[in-house]
Structure formats: C-alpha cells, structure tokens
Amino acid sequence: MKIELPQVGESVTEGVIGRWLKNVGDKVEKYDPLVEVITDKVNMELPSPVEGVLREIIANEGDTVPMGGLIADIETKESENSPINSDTYSNLQEENIGTTGVLIKDAAPVGPTGSGGPISQDKPQPDPSIKDRPKSRYSPAVLRLAEENNIDLEQVVGTGINGRITRKDVTAFIESKPNTLESQTIVKETAASTPRQDQEKITLSPIRRMIAANMVKSATLIPQAWSEVAVDVTGMVLRRESIKESFMAKEGINITYLPFVVKAVAESLKKNPLLNSSWSEEGIILKKNINIGIAVAAPDGLVVPVIHNADLFSIAGLAGVMENLITKAKNGKLDLSEVQSGTFTLNNTGALGSVSSRPLVNHPQSAIMTTEAIVKRPIIAADAIAIRSMMNICLSFDHRVMDGAEASAFSMSVKNLLENINSETQIY
C-alpha cells in the first residue's frame, strides 16, 4: 500500500520529511510512529495507517513533499495475498480462461531453454543512490547572476520548490549585501594571508530551512516599522509577588508575568482590531478571534504555540493554558491545532536578557510585540526620583495595514493596562 502524506491542516500545503522512525524491512503495527514530518506550523510523528512491512521509503529525510504526495510503500497482509495463488489459478484454468487467455501474474519469465526461474516476489529495494541525491542544479539565470555578482550560492537561502534557489532569491541576496564585491575581496585577502581552515559549514536542518524561509518572507514581503514604549510595571511585579506562593499552592503552577501581559495584549487587540489582521491585495482581513501566539525557544528551533481566544481567559486561566502549551512546545509534543490560526505574536525576549529588540512580523499577521527584561531604574515621578521596575515593549508592524497612529494606540493601551495593575487586580 502506498502511503501518502496526509492533509494535516487547511492552510498547510507541504511538509518536510524528518527522521524515519522505521527502516525498510521493519514490521510496522497500525498507528506505529512511522516518520517525523515538519510543516511550517508544527512537527509531528506520522502514525502508520496500516499494519505491514515497510517495503520502500519514497521520500527521504529533508525532502519537501506536497500534501497527498507519496512517501512510502507498506506491504500489508492483503497485498501479500493479492497475487493469484495456485488454487485460484487452477480454478481459472478449469472454468474461466476462454479464448482470450489470462495473465498469470506470478509466473516467472521463461528462459531461452524453456525453463523459468524460481517464482519470487521481487521486493523493490530503495535505490541507494536516492539517499545521497546530488544538490539540485541551479538555473541558468541563477548561475549568471551569481557569477556577475560574485556570489557564493551556498550562502543563499532557497525559497523555491524543494528549497531551490530562484532568481529572486539571488537578487534579494544581492540587495541585502550592498558591498558584496568589497567584502568578497576582503574575505579573499584574509584567506590568502591565513592558510588555515577559517570556516565551517553547518548543514541546514529542515526546521532551520523552514524558519529561514519564513523570515525571508517576513523581511521581503512586509514593509515593517518599529516602535518601543517604556512601561512602569512596578504594580505588576508587586501583584505577582503577592500571589506567587498561594497560586503555586493552589494551582500547582508557577505564575509568571506573561499571563498578565497576554491579558493586556488581548484587551488591547480588541480595541485596536488592525493589529489583529492580515494584509491582502483585495483588502485588510480583520480576524474576529484573538489568537495569540507565544514564541518559544524549543530545542530544535523556534515554535509558536497559540492561545486561542485569549481574550476569554482570566489571568489564572491564561497561566494554566500557557504552562501546558510551553511544556508541550519544549518537548516537541504540540498538536497542529495548537500552532494554527495565530492572529498576533508575542515574544518574551526579556527572558533572554534583552532590553530592546526588533522582532520580525510573523507572516501573514500584521504585528508582533516583545516584552523586554524588567529592570529597576531610577525615574522621575511627581518631580521626585523613584526606583521603579521598568519594562520595554517593542512592536513591529506591517506598515501597509496601519500607520504609526494605530500602532501607538495599541502600545499605549498595553502600557496603560499594565501600569494599572495593582493589589486589587483580579487573577481569576
């Protein structure tokens, strides 16, 4: 039975084959994990739809396969029995052959001496050469551009089918490096003066490739503007401190600042729907649900689990949902539904120590916000110097969808909501 890559989500069109969890010749039970599949939304283990023996791996690790594309061949009990056995053959001989004859599928070819070889079911072996398939060839246009501009194509990220490098990829690469010629010469000179190996290449994992392609999409398709707002979060810090222990005792989870921020973001998105939308040439599509993606650094790379309808949760509810999602993300156990349909992305870069960052909008969303590290700073409040807990929030947005006015209205709303958190703020 030919195994196809199943349709795993309405907006997902292709997947990259990750590690095969079964080898050719292995016995496979129904629902056994067969292979890892990486899509632009999620990584998953594909369960075998049937019981049988893995006869052939058609799509190898790193291959991009469209939904519905063939990935493997599993020999099932039914297919083992399908060739006409001698019983049915003899029945046919007696009853049904007629003048047109029948095609006997399991007969061996007859050699020149009239003898046939032993009857055997040829198991097609995977072509060993497929494994180390050569790198895809470059088109004439790509080669010419690379030569004219002195570009090492190994450094260009391909966005074409199967990661092919297109003419556009090369021109984008040239534009991103205005001084290619100059830097190239410098590299050459240093290389000449220092004969030792001065660089090393890390092979791109499928997920690295996917992230790269998404980032190129964001950087090339979306004209992004950026702004930063300083927020006095002293009230939030105190409120969290006051409930930390009781929350842990009652709910069994640690309450972080993130649920407070998500709550404020969800409220602000409601008031500023343009931040919760997508650009299209026909018009701006406002999203009715507020589904906030949270960027999480998982061991293999960035993943963005989504809190669906974030505006409907209390701060405690958000804490629970997020604990669950982030744990799953770090263990690579997210379901597709848990990474789909995000309408806005939040990135807690402060956890990494950053105090200011410029995030890239998660295409096709229209905005992304970061929360930076909370730092105590002396500030002037009511003509006196006070020590307050300060946090920057940074917003990148699609300038086609909105202008600075709308973006700032959103940032200021988040700021005000966070600054108004006090000992009375409801957690449940």
Six-digit token pair at 246? Answer: 């009781």
Q: Does 144 bind other proteins (CB under 8 A)?
A: yes
Catalytic residue selected from 32, 300, 308, 399: 399
DSSP 124-140: PPP-HHHHTPPPPPPPH
Amino acid present at 414: V
Alpha-helical segments (H) within 331-403: none
Return the residue of 161, 181, 312, 375 that touches other proteins, per CB under 8 A.
161
Q: Does 281 bind other proteins (CB under 8 A)?
A: yes
Q: What is the size of the binding site for other proteins (CB under 8 A)?
A: 16
Choice from 94, 198, 282, 424 touching other proteins (CB under 8 A)? 282
Residue 168, classified by CB atoms within 10 Å of its CB into exposed (0-12), middle (13-18) or buried (19+), is middle
CB of 143 to other proteins, least distance (A): 8
Among 79, 139, 184, 354, the residue binding other proteins under the rule CB under 8 A is 139
Q: Is 308 a catalytic residue?
A: no
Here the contacts of 106-110 (C-beta below 8 Å, separation 24 or greater) are: none
Q: Starting from the edge strand earliest in sequence, which strands make up the sheet with 64-66, in order?
A: 43-47, 33-38, 14-20, 64-66
Q: Is 358 in the site for other proteins (CB under 8 A)?
A: no
Among 5, 35, 142, 156, binds other proteins (CB under 8 A): 142
Instruction: Answer yes or no whether residue 280 interacts with other proteins by CB under 8 A.
Output: yes
Residue 140 near other proteins by CB under 8 A: yes
Which residue of 8, 157, 215, 221 would you call a contact of other proteins, by CB under 8 A?
221
187 binds other proteins (CB under 8 A): no
Q: How far is the CB of 407 from other proteins (least distance, A)?
A: 22
Q: d(Cα 237, Cα 235) in Å, to the nearest integer? A: 6
Question: Catalytic one among 26, 152, 335, 403?
Answer: 403
Least distance to other proteins, CB of residue 277, Å? 15
The CA dihedral of 41, 45, 48, 52, to the nearest 10 degrees, is: 140
**Closest to other proteins by CB, 70 or 161:** 161
Q: Provide CB contacts within 8 A for 355, sequence distance 6+.
A: 372, 373, 375, 392
399 binds other proteins (CB under 8 A): no
By C-alpha distance, which of 355, 363, 418 is closest to 396?
Answer: 363
How many C-beta neighbours within 10 Å does residue 23 have? 8
Q: Which is nearer to other proteins, 77 or 133 (CB)?
A: 133
Q: How far is the CB of 218 from other proteins (least distance, A)?
A: 12
Residue 364, SS3 per DSSP: coil
Residue 399 known to be catalytic: yes
Nearest distance in Å: CB 201, other proteins: 25
Which is closer to other proteins, CB of 363 or CB of 415? 363
- Tokens found for residue 412: 């200021």
Closer to other proteins at the Cβ: 141 or 381? 141
CB 175, min distance to other proteins, A:
13
Rounded CA-CA distance 54/330 in Å is: 30
Q: Which of 167, 208, 308, 330 binds other proteins (CB under 8 A)?
A: 167
Q: Give the torsion sign (CA, 415, 421, 426, 428).
A: positive
Chain residues binding other proteins by CB under 8 A are: 139-144, 160-161, 164, 166-168, 221, 280-282
Mind telling me the catalytic residues?
A: 399, 403
